Structure 1
């Protein structure tokens, strides 16, 4: 049958009516007020798709994941294909049976409105459709929306078979709504099961759902049912009566009880009547099911200082579970260095740190001072005299190159692959034990601060100490110089090469001889520096070789830079500071010479630290390659839903799963989902601890308030995107700031670290997808696009619904350090 009246359908008719149609049929059968209408069955769509050869025409695009090309091909097909006469006649008759009113035409895919994926906003809705001809046009467009680029990307990200999904279309009489909106029977933002969240605005509910209108927000206590508080977002705007709101709340609780899970209910108020436009499961409550988290430990003063000195900059995001495998190489060496200086570490405490997976901050075992600390100055003096760079170049670096020498990982059996990882780990740990001993020489800075303070005074001492270690030539400065020269080669390679990089299209370089020649230069650069980390020394953080996007972004920024990064200014600051201090110390015999010699050794120690850190990134890169190969094997063997899921496993699980200890795939999926949810909580605490408190009280900071639509905290550079033509401006890891979002914008959420909008709220498609993707979002922050400067650093707190405006950035700025 082609046409089904809503009163003929129920939840059992999902394959026929799609998620939306089946749910509306169920509501109608319950005797609830649902606008009358009918469903054009999924079978009718499938019949036309077969007749038009849809699968054959789209197969090449699907195979290459060319989503835009597939969408364009489908759009043309559904616009021009001839409708079967029987279907056209049945649709016209059903519309006349309704009384030929204005109608709403809504897509209803067979894979949407499910308990684990909402597909919110991925398919089209058309309102106030007048006449039979316009209805048939809307029907075609709803069918075509199953193949939009955003719907294809959404399904691909969730492992949904594209050709296994059909689409029905719901046609309903339009409601002349006074107010409309969405009610969540459980607060999906605050993750509170004792409270409901309602957003309502005058007019059609689609304006709230799409994010074009900022609705008034109500928070309802579930038991006993009452309005806890309300947030009227527009002063003087009319609002529905409390009686009507509470009546809706009771109805929503009944729906939750009937369907057996929390519901996302779309509604309309017309006079004193409530019309239900949809009820579907809330798909974004996974964060309530998380791994047990240890309570934050009480930190000693020394631990707090170490935390402040290391975590914020070196570890800007929380590590994932598998990152502990990498820490196993580092933690023993750090603990050994602490013992060398005279701090006692309990072995049980050390083992607990080695085994720890979830923390809201990275912290070493609690150290206890011993009498050995009295010998620290002598030990630092001894270490300072050693030639650590010579040891590194003739021994340590040689061993690193040997153990990380390229091999065909695919050809290695599982046991040999793990053996290679073990050799890398063992070699690195041995090297790090001695490296950290050498880095103790940097504690000479503590001793040097005393004469510097005496020479220039306490207020200037810190700045002068910084000048005294400036102007150093490090491996980092060499990489930056090489990147500058690579950018200059792009300028001289010709306009096509320049344009491809400027416009962010490096893939176009393959289309010309000049472009291919330049790509060879890029490959040579990556051969030398591709192991460079972007986020930190995490196994889960890709290197430039694995993800060259940051490198291309830097090249794009450097295209207009005509002068290479220079150490000359730093060297001048160093020399001026040295002259000032030694001149002030000249009255104490021999002190100036001693100061000068100690400073020289300290500067050499810093260069050694930078060089060794750069080379040690090769070790992590080699381990990442092994992890990637293990992920590929587990995925191809059907043991892992996605290769990226491996970072949510522990080292012990990875080793066991390569053997015979793999749990069923359904259990693996639940485990990964739970770990991902846990990581969202941990990283939110990490970000808030590292950046939140200091930013709130920073001088010159400002704050915007909106609706916390997706919980979590993130700090980053804001990118203002005013319309679809500016989509290309957003770079991975930036915070999307825009006037509003609609479903066409949601593919950007795979790039954005967070979202801030002028309008919209917790009920919009943007909020739903943001929560599914797990990125913080503050919607309805009035004036965001005018008060936030493009490129400015901001902190988005999606839990509290606030945006902190921090310091201004410089668009395209590159820090040479």
Structure 2
């Protein structure tokens, strides 16, 4: 159908807003439909009327302009701008049919004449696939019947704005399927105006009401040409909004001389004041909640406040951007290999596991990590005796798995670990949860049982005694195997590379199982015993000192980097020892130092500038001396039996504390061989013309990678999974959650965080107080880290020890007192706060802060100067 085929006008062509019921929405458009709903709810809406889409269609037919528009749109050689300009010229010469003109004039007179707003209300606005918001025109402060009719025509013409023409082409919407209703409303002489959304527009957080306000008409907020104030209200409590008040220098006002709304300078004293006081902002937020509740969806609302402090609602429409993104996300997650079927009754967390396997994992990484981590966790609990041997394998039911994946992030079931804690003599679910998260989630139900106590008391002592020897043997075996395998990878054919990958995955599973044995059986009992021992003699402040020392693998990295910087160690030898470390080393898709040594060259050069007094060996000697003094003090406070007990605990601490790093090195080396063979497979598949890039293999699963033939649609599969991974990266996952996580987009800078005195809190993991300048870091080696800065990171892995060494403190979003960050910080005597949850989003590079590693508090002393 063409625009020229539209028929005669059907009555009524003009309707009061109070009669624009939903059954007439195809005639009056989305904007008018929203206004009718507000009026029906008894909410304050300026009086007005609507001109229907039938009036638009009939005018095109009666004047012949519809056929002329068809001709313009059919000219493929014309740009969208040229088409639009030509169509606007056609509308300038249109005279409305006499009966329609009379209806508009009568309705305008019933409003009492005076200034009105003439707003477009597109029939195709805000479909499920697209939002037409802002594509069509609005005219303010229009006075006189002739001017109203003229601007009705201009609204219709705006159906053919260049952006609207292009938008319809993009979504393949024919011009004859759209039409225009027009809303005419009494003008509100606004003291302030703006936009309100019943979710956070940047992050999509549905628990917030967001308001942007400016002095004068709200047009400046919609267009974005004035500074505005921002308010964020928590829906659960509207009393204390977060707000940022701007110094507004200009505002939109009606200019009698120009006869139009113009952008005018403001009195500086007025512009420095909030556009809304707290009472008005709160009343507006409450209206937003009421509207959302009535519409049953997040809403996008335009509003104005009169000089008499009366609020008026100018528009209300369902929010489309986040609604569409959530739909896209849900659809993608249903078929994704990197989103699991989560147990809605379980509590999950990225803490600890997110440290080993950080970020949004590639499909290949998860297909290795998922089974490996599940088997490892179960192996540790079976060895301890708390889990039946019959449950050592991966459950068929995903709801019963300890390890899952949520939108690309590896998560552990705190609920499952909590249940294991309820079976351990001398422990509890609360103790396990607190060790993982630093707190006990509300909603956890204690259900202690002694049923497994006899088995635990039989199995655990033997497993505890064997653990160090088993882990050390595995470490030696894997270290030599890693060196051998890397030397031969590049000579392997496709079958050989697949065999090497399979062997590496099997060794990874065994290594992670032994690592779990250390984490579950070998280390925690020693930590717990030492913690109780120092508490019994009021020496809690010495706990960190007493857990330091020993041959920690991460400290060996620091020492060798120091020697590399001073020419005592060659780069090739360093890489033979530590080349499996690197940014995102727990993700197969990550690049490690043996593949790209540039980070270690940068760090070694930084070490070279440090004085000899910073030698890590000298620091280790000082640390050991401090530890000896603490041990002597501890012994002096104990009786003879207490001293015997303390010597045993301290001896076990020296033996067992380093096991976490030793076990981790084994599974990282195994993973590195898998990485090497996967990239070799990628090279061979690229050479055969099957894949376009070597790292496309990272978007296959391990089963797809080692199968005799890759999937037939491998290119389409890789492209879809790349898009999926980018989609998952565009959302942030909470550190911990029940059932399905509530996702948000990366948070904007905090609106109330410019002043000093703010603070963030976490778990104090390494005692000490230091003041310094923040450096928010995404990856070690790539940031321009300056010595003495305070590192702020989402998580860390062993490669971070290299930059922790030259830093003054560490603040980490996730992790516990036994996490890598905490252990290494204690070894390096750095104040450390872990599990802040949002440190990387609240703090920014250049902020000056005070870190208290004992209390877990980071106080913001001075905000960094903003740059634009």
TM-score for the superposition, normalised by structure 1: 0.47
Larger radius of gyration: 2
More helix by share: 1
TM-score for the superposition, normalised by structure 2: 0.45
With a CA cutoff of 8 Å and minimum separation of 6, indicate the structure with the bigger relative contact order: 1
